[in-house]
Structure 1
Amino acid sequence: MEMDGNTRVPRTGSKTRLTPAMEQYRAAKMQYPDCILFFQIGDFYETFESDAETVARELDIVLTSRSKDKDGNSIPLAGVPRHAADGYIARLVSRGYRVAISDQVEDARNAKGVVRREVVRVITPGTVIDEQYLSTGDAHYLMSLFPGEKPRVWGMAYLDISTGEFFVTSCARGGSEGDLVSDIFRYDPAECLVPENLPDTIVAILEEKGVLVTRYPLEAFDPSESSDLLCRHFGVASLEGYGITAIPPAISAAGAVLGYARDTQRSSLAHILGVYVKNSGEFCTLDATTLRNLEILSGIRGRRDDATLFSTLDRTATPMGSRLLRSYLCAPLTSVDAIKRRLDAVDFFFAESSTRTGITSILKKFADVERIAGRIAFGNAGPRDLVTLWQSLERVPEVLDALSGSREDDLPALLSHACNRCGDLEWMRSLIGRSIVDDPPATIRNGGVIREGYSAGLDELRLLSSSGKDWITELQKKERERTGIRSLKVGYNSVFGYYIEVTRPNLGLVPDEYERKQTTSTGERFTIPELKEKESVIKSADEKLLSLEQSVYQDILSQLAAGVGDLQEMAAGIAEIDLFASLAEVAAAYNYVRPVVDNSGEILIREGRHPVVERQMQGAFVPNDTHLSVKDDQILIITGANMAGKSTYMRGVALITIMAQAGCFVPATYAGIGVADRVFTRVGAFDDLASGQST
């Protein structure tokens, strides 16, 4: 039968005779027909049949064929080494493919018959967690969409499983679905789950925006089942405390997205600790056209990154701070009090330049703690993740000391709150410091990660392994003296084990008791009874050592996982401190001022400048005044020749308003901003202002 376009699986009742391993492969492929199946065979991941053809084409690797099946048919095959698989998988996922990973789950030496394998994880564009798959400064959302009837709204849920961020929102249904398009543009999800019966017209809207659409069974969106799943996950009796019960379609979307993430990751997702609501009334609405035409996050024509509002303002030192800036610019606030609290925090750093400089230099040494916390929760954080986490935890007290040392009793509310989020994680720092070596390998696969003195059992096995290797060194010395062969070497490889190597000119000096193991281009390799005996002792010790070290490492991850919630809180606090310090640095560098924000319905800007164009023109920008009021000057008519600056002027006013409501200082000598609830732009759709091009 045919499934999902190019994915082929055998027809039921097919009489094709298969090897046991291929039968196992076909059974797994039947379960995951829409995925490319990476099937572990020893040290490689193999793909077969149509999957192999896709992989060979997309990854530009050799397409070969497996030895023919029992009917004489060759089977297309393409494989990649397991140790390098992450990079290949990342390329497939970035091109919109889903990849299922089938691992050997028992030791091949102990297997009776075919080695048992299981699909341990499904990687899709919306569920990636590994660092090589993710853009450092961007959130990575898996979205779910459900059409509600009462009320008649779209329920939407967004989950970033790399960080644990989870929120829901809603918008009205009907018409051109402009609000839906704006939401998609704002959060830029990598993948969207939709009910299997969703009309193709809506799916087309999503796909037009470059979102991978995954049709999901309708029962996964059942409101009652979704509510139960969310309650079980958060360990609560009711969802009342999360504020989402008034939006049933959002509950359906949230339950579906959480269930899908748990299924694909084969994980409880313990780092997802809650869900919150983003109410549209709390934010100034920026529709898709506005976000694009004002070039807030990306340029209209795919221009270089330094010509957007985000790139102009982004002087953050951490990935967490950079992601927070994106979210601020996409959703400016409408509450005057909330805006003023952000401005107070920026103002603090603006006035305290030495504190700002000191904290920024500390923050530059921080890792992406938010995503490391996610990998710890998944149990796949690497040893180097833990070392960089330890280095970050070492610096948290320095950040807090720098803040408390400036105006301890007078910190703005948001900075005080951010400091309180950085709780005591000394136990975590101590655990990593005691257990992990200073410069570990990238993975635990070959050991060499656990510090001496942490595990008595490991230390004992290391001593046994080390003494065995010392014996090998002494054997080489003894045999050189006994045989007179000065170039004699005792070596090792994974195929032949330990051997004594003698070059061809010295073969006449080899003693009779040497047993030949292998012939090489330069000589012969031998063994002797005492080397064989010692080899089994060393090999046994090494295998036990590696197995125990991997077990100890997993135990360390389990201990750290208990503190993931506190780690996420700390990362959020550091992100806020970083962002406010960054905005103050930009304000000082670019001569911005604090805006006066109120509910007056009036905009009064003196000597306002377009923040992006100003940076591109390096001092040649001519500032402009603006006065708009709901009472008097509601409309301004602007005339002038082509390239005279009309679009630049209008967009500059819009960007200054957005910056003010996001909590930023603004490019002007004075800016009084009456809060706006929405920004529209329908002018100069193809202007490329920063490059000096107009329509």
Structure 2
Amino acid sequence: MIKQYLEIKEQYPDAVLFFRLGDFYEMFFEDAHLASRELEITLTGRDGGAGERVPMCGVPYHAAEGYIARLIDKGHRVAVCEQVEDPSAAKGIVRREVIRVITPGTVMESQLLEDKNNNYLVSVAPVPEGFGLAVADITTGTFMITSFSGVKARLALTEELARLRPAEVIIPRSSKDFFTEDMRLIGMPVVSGFREDAFSPEQAGQALETQFGPSFRDECRPSDLDYLAPAAGALLIYLRETQKRELSHLNKFQFYQPGRFMVLDAATRRNLELTRAIADGARRNTLLHVLDHTVTAMGGRLIKNWIERPLLDRDEIEARLEAVAELAGEVFLRHDLREGLKNIYDLERLSARISFGTANARDLVALKKSLAQLPEIKSLLEQADASLLRATGGAVDLLDDVRELLESAIEDDPPLSLRDGGLIKTGFDPEVDRLRFAGRDGKLMMAGLEERERARTGIKSLKVGYNRVFGYYLEVTKSNLPLVPDDYQRKQTLANAERFITPELKEYEDMILGAEERLVHLEYHLFNEIREKISGMSGRVQTTAGAVARADALLSLGEAAVRGNYTRPVLNSEGKITIRDGRHPVLENILGPGQFVPNDTVMDNHDSRLYLITGPNMAGKSTYMRQVALIVLMAQMGSFVPASFAGTCLVDRIFTRVGAADDLSGGQSTFMVEMNECRAIVTSATDRSLIIMDEVGRGTSTYDGISIARALVEFIHRRVGAKTLFSTHYHELTDLDNLPGVVNYNVAVDERGEDVVFLRKVVPGKADRSYGIHVARLAGLPGEIIRRAAEILAGLESVKESARQVAAAVEPAESVVPAEHPVIQELRSLDALRMTPLEAINKLYQLQSILKSGVSSQESVVRSQESESGIRIKDSGIRNRSKNERMVYPE
């Protein structure tokens, strides 16, 4: 047996081998040590020959799912090795095989899954000039493919992985180190290196043809196939090798382009708390928590997807808004649709389990109950006015043939196990009925035998019993043993009774047990046939599941609109964002109705493109900026928004730089993380983007911080042109309002002596104080610290004029963008990836020669640098200070 174990383990060296022995899964050697430690179970041992004891531990097979879940949660893989022949018919060692390898991305068991979250397995294939990406969720039948190319391909790939948050990523073994940094940035999913040949165009292409047919090539552009095939084909090969079965429910693929959706990087998702709270990673107190009123797991997963991928197509947005408007306005439609959806189970995952061959009879009953609700849901949707609701109703397949089959075949309350019988309804199969009646008649005959034996022997307490070891028996208490007839044959002795059999009892037993055994076998066979038949209809079930999920998600947005008193946003093409009485949806939900102070926002491409927001700590600057971003995002996902009016243009990206966080594992300080986020914003934003920047530059010295913050504002204004909300405590920046489109706003306060009341109202104008000491007092710092801080502040403010002189040394940048150097223009036009090394060297020499011939003196270099930066330094009379020289303030 150990020889057999070692041979199988050699095939799965990177998985914990659950080796079936009777009623237990046993683990040996290093797997036993690992499982004992991770599962906190007792480590034992057996004699293994040669004077050694083999380490071992085990778990009951009927409780294995929970133990497997714990191992998967810790990032391990589990190979389930079963007995594949009847032990009673086996000669020698029972044959065993691995029937499935369970990995974080291939989990099917409901105990291991979250109902409203997808469990994504992704495959990444590096290809020339970019990457291919394939995404699967085998629990729902989802299979998607896309590609990334160009100079920002890796960044785009990382952002998409951050959105997907996959449970597992497979990559070519040779590329594992290459992706280490990317995996760290997206939360460290399990990374599985897979054999190189699976990513080859030949094997990958064959896998795709086998799964989807030759027509899959017709659905992709020929230029895309080189990107898509390696990742998608390798993913299918990986699934087949780990799951050991056909994947019939992966019957279609979706080619998607991330460019169809608003791009949200990982920092923005985190800072806006879209689906996970910053504090603990939970759903509570997130936008998802506010908007998710779905009643099905499918709808819950879909609305999460909508939040993470706002739309860029105006027609699609308007179609959703039209549907939400009707649902918000029709209380009876909302009520009736919700009541129908309440009784629908997770059709996507039911369909997947059926296709996988792991669904039990109760799963089929759940499918039947779900299908019974479809006619009412379909009717409600098709009678709606909104075109998207009608189209959703039209996509609902009633699946009458499936429902009728299940209604006639499967018992309404079947057992959990498929090996105990009681699965098939009477009247579905004549042989089942005959065997069932034979068993029932035998039991009636057994009851008659018990009465006759009591009368014949005079033993009133005599009874007929049954157990799996001894079968049927006659039990007689010890006080009545003298009355036992001679034809009784002793079968078993107990403490207070003896058990006997008779020839007649044995005859009845053969009749009953023979019928029951054949009945259980037949019911199991018929159940598998029914399950296989429904598996062939999985495509229809998945289409209906998608329609039901869409109806549930739209209903959820309608419900959120009513509960939150939201209004329908108006989309415009003039580049304007106009919000009246805007509110933060999450904070308002926490505070309760009427407790949140609303604010207005008016931004356009000309007069008010960049808000400089000043004001006290704790006054609500960050809340205000985030609420603007959330309102724009909600509008583009097709949701109503928390405002009395909201008119918005379409933005291609939302960027946020909020809060302070370090990255210790990556060796980055808080300030370095901040600067990296700023770099990502200014290099990726366009004039159609929305930027949120909060307190940039506070992580370094005052002059450094002011300089960086000022330069960022000027660069965004000159080069990027994005709509920007920029909050700061550097009041020296407020003079930037002389740039066209830059406007000053501040958060109003009411000063009452030493007390300050934060009004939470954003109004035009500049703030000249930050009230940090007042906030320190609110936080409860000792009075001695507060008094000393006030003294120091008074001393520092006495040199305010000097500080203004330093700030005035830097003139605002010209609003006109300086002409770009011809060499820079030439560099931008080059396609470096298509140049040969020799061509690149020649071109580099040519450009260098142009530069050398055009620069004659150090003075021209300085002028060039000044022109490039757009900043002129005035002679302020302030000498440069060395690094170690301290500035002395007057007392």
Identify the residue that residue 154 of structure 1 maps to in structure 2: 131
Identify the residue that residue 323 of structure 2 maps to in structure 1: 345
CA distance in 2, matches of 1:376, 1:622: 52
Identify the residue that residue 7 of structure 1 maps to in structure 2: none
Confirm or deny: 8 A CA contact 1:322 1:579 kept in the other structure: yes
Identify the residue that residue 657 of structure 1 maps to in structure 2: 632
| Higher mean displacement: 280-289 or 112-121 | 112-121
Identify the residue that residue 229 of structure 1 maps to in structure 2: 207
Identify the residue that residue 541 of structure 1 maps to in structure 2: 515
In 2 relative to 1, CA 240–176 (structure 1 residues): closer, same or farther, beyond 3 Å?
closer
Q: Deviations over 1:186-216 (max 9, x none)?
A: 1111111010001525135315613001000
Q: How does 1:96-111 map to 2 (within 5 A)?
A: 96-111=75-90
Offset of 1:240 from its aligned partner? 2.6
Q: Deviations over 1:472-516 (max 9, x none)?
A: 222222222222222222222122222222223323333333322
Query: Are 1:43 and 2:4 matched, yes or no?
Result: no
| Higher mean displacement: 355-364 or 202-211 | 202-211
| Higher mean displacement: 590-599 or 428-437 | 590-599
Q: How does 1:498-509 map to 2 (within 5 A)?
A: 498-509=472-483
Offset of 1:100 from its aligned partner? 1.1
Query: Are 1:477 and 2:455 matched, yes or no?
Result: no
Confirm or deny: 8 A CA contact 1:226 1:251 kept in the other structure: yes
Question: Which residue of 544, 547, 569 corresponds with 1:595?
Answer: 569
Q: Deviations over 1:291-312 (max 9, x none)?
A: 0111001011116532000011
In 2 relative to 1, CA 484–226 (structure 1 residues): closer, same or farther, beyond 3 Å?
same
Identify the residue that residue 6 of structure 1 maps to in structure 2: none
Identify the residue that residue 251 of structure 2 maps to in structure 1: 273
Confirm or deny: 8 A CA contact 1:600 1:675 kept in the other structure: no
Q: Deviations over 1:415-439 (max 9, x none)?
A: 2221121124100000000001111
CA distance in 2, matches of 1:422, 1:242: 27
Query: Are 1:634 and 2:609 matched, yes or no?
Result: yes
Confirm or deny: 8 A CA contact 1:242 1:276 kept in the other structure: no
Q: Deviations over 1:633-673 (max 9, x none)?
A: 12101111111111101110111111111111100011111
CA distance in 2, matches of 1:89, 1:173: 42
**Tell me, what secondary structure is at the counterpart of 1:636?**
strand
CA distance in 2, matches of 1:92, 1:473: 50
Offset of 1:177 from its aligned partner? 4.8
| Higher mean displacement: 393-402 or 247-256 | 247-256
Confirm or deny: 8 A CA contact 1:245 1:251 kept in the other structure: no
Confirm or deny: 8 A CA contact 2:351 2:538 kept in the other structure: yes
What is the one-letter code of the residue matched to 2:408? R
Question: Which residue of 148, 164, 171 corresponds with 1:187?
Answer: 164
Query: Are 1:253 and 2:228 matched, yes or no?
Result: no
What is the one-letter code of the residue matched to 2:644? T
In 2 relative to 1, CA 238–373 (structure 1 residues): closer, same or farther, beyond 3 Å?
closer
Identify the residue that residue 99 of structure 2 maps to in structure 1: 120
In 2 relative to 1, CA 359–35 (structure 1 residues): closer, same or farther, beyond 3 Å?
same
| Higher mean displacement: 380-389 or 177-186 | 177-186
Q: How does 1:133-172 map to 2 (within 5 A)?
A: 133-149=112-128, 152-171=129-148
CA distance in 2, matches of 1:518, 1:364: 54
Offset of 1:412 from its aligned partner? 2.5
Offset of 1:52 from its aligned partner? 2.4
CA distance in 2, matches of 1:173, 1:417: 37
Offset of 1:178 from its aligned partner? 4.0
Query: Are 1:30 and 2:26 matched, yes or no?
Result: no
Offset of 1:380 from its aligned partner? 1.7
Which gives a bigger RCO, structure 1 or 2 (Cα 8 Å, sep 6+)?
1
CA distance in 2, matches of 1:526, 1:243: 78
CA distance in 2, matches of 1:369, 1:626: 43
Q: How does 1:16-95 map to 2 (within 5 A)?
A: 21-66=1-46, 68-95=47-74
What is the one-letter code of the residue matched to 2:277? G
Confirm or deny: 8 A CA contact 1:497 1:535 kept in the other structure: yes
What is the one-letter code of the residue matched to 1:33? P
Query: Are 1:621 and 2:596 matched, yes or no?
Result: yes
CA distance in 2, matches of 1:677, 1:487: 84
Identify the residue that residue 557 of structure 1 maps to in structure 2: 531
| Higher mean displacement: 424-433 or 438-447 | 438-447
What is the one-letter code of the residue matched to 1:81? P
Confirm or deny: 8 A CA contact 1:157 1:257 kept in the other structure: yes
Confirm or deny: 8 A CA contact 2:264 2:654 kept in the other structure: yes
In 2 relative to 1, CA 56–512 (structure 1 residues): closer, same or farther, beyond 3 Å?
farther
Q: How does 1:450-489 map to 2 (within 5 A)?
A: 450-489=424-463
Q: How does 1:193-212 map to 2 (within 5 A)?
A: 193-206=170-183, 209-212=187-190
Q: CA RMSD in A?
A: 2.2
Q: Deviations over 1:76-118 (max 9, x none)?
A: 3322232222222222222212111112122111112221222
Identify the residue that residue 17 of structure 1 maps to in structure 2: none
Identify the residue that residue 545 of structure 2 maps to in structure 1: 571
**Tell me, what secondary structure is at the counterpart of 1:24?**
helix
CA distance in 1, matches of 2:490, 2:642: 81
In 2 relative to 1, CA 168–685 (structure 1 residues): closer, same or farther, beyond 3 Å?
farther
In 2 relative to 1, CA 60–476 (structure 1 residues): closer, same or farther, beyond 3 Å?
farther
May I ask how many residue pairs the two structures share in their alignment?
664
CA distance in 2, matches of 1:240, 1:637: 52
Q: Deviations over 1:297-356 (max 9, x none)?
A: 101111653200001100011111111101111111111111111111111212222111
What is the one-letter code of the residue matched to 2:30? S
**Tell me, what secondary structure is at the counterpart of 1:297?**
coil
Query: Are 1:220 and 2:194 matched, yes or no?
Result: no
Compare CA radii of gyration and give the structure with the larger one: 2
What is the one-letter code of the residue matched to 1:288? A
Query: Are 1:327 and 2:343 matched, yes or no?
Result: no
CA distance in 1, matches of 2:432, 2:10: 43
CA distance in 2, matches of 1:199, 1:463: 62
CA distance in 1, matches of 2:491, 2:567: 80
Structure 1 unaligned residues grouped into runs of 5+: 1-20
Identify the residue that residue 334 of structure 2 maps to in structure 1: 356
CA distance in 1, matches of 2:567, 2:221: 37
Identify the residue that residue 609 of structure 1 maps to in structure 2: 583
In 2 relative to 1, CA 245–25 (structure 1 residues): closer, same or farther, beyond 3 Å?
farther
| Higher mean displacement: 126-135 or 283-292 | 126-135
In 2 relative to 1, CA 391–276 (structure 1 residues): closer, same or farther, beyond 3 Å?
same
What is the one-letter code of the residue matched to 2:389? L
The TM-score with structure 2 as length reference comes to: 0.72
Q: Deviations over 1:23-71 (max 9, x none)?
A: 22211111111111122222322222222232233333333334x2343
| Higher mean displacement: 285-294 or 508-517 | 508-517
| Higher mean displacement: 26-35 or 529-538 | 529-538
CA distance in 2, matches of 1:434, 1:276: 36
Identify the residue that residue 653 of structure 2 maps to in structure 1: 678
What is the one-letter code of the residue matched to 1:388? A
CA distance in 2, matches of 1:622, 1:86: 50
CA distance in 1, matches of 2:15, 2:320: 45
The TM-score with structure 1 as length reference comes to: 0.92
Identity of aligned residues (%): 44
CA distance in 1, matches of 2:537, 2:154: 42
| Higher mean displacement: 668-677 or 231-240 | 231-240
CA distance in 2, matches of 1:303, 1:184: 17
In 2 relative to 1, CA 317–341 (structure 1 residues): closer, same or farther, beyond 3 Å?
same
Offset of 1:276 from its aligned partner? 1.7
Q: Deviations over 1:224-269 (max 9, x none)?
A: 3212211221122452314585152332111111111122112221
**Tell me, what secondary structure is at the counterpart of 1:680?**
strand
CA distance in 2, matches of 1:77, 1:457: 46
What is the one-letter code of the residue matched to 1:320? M
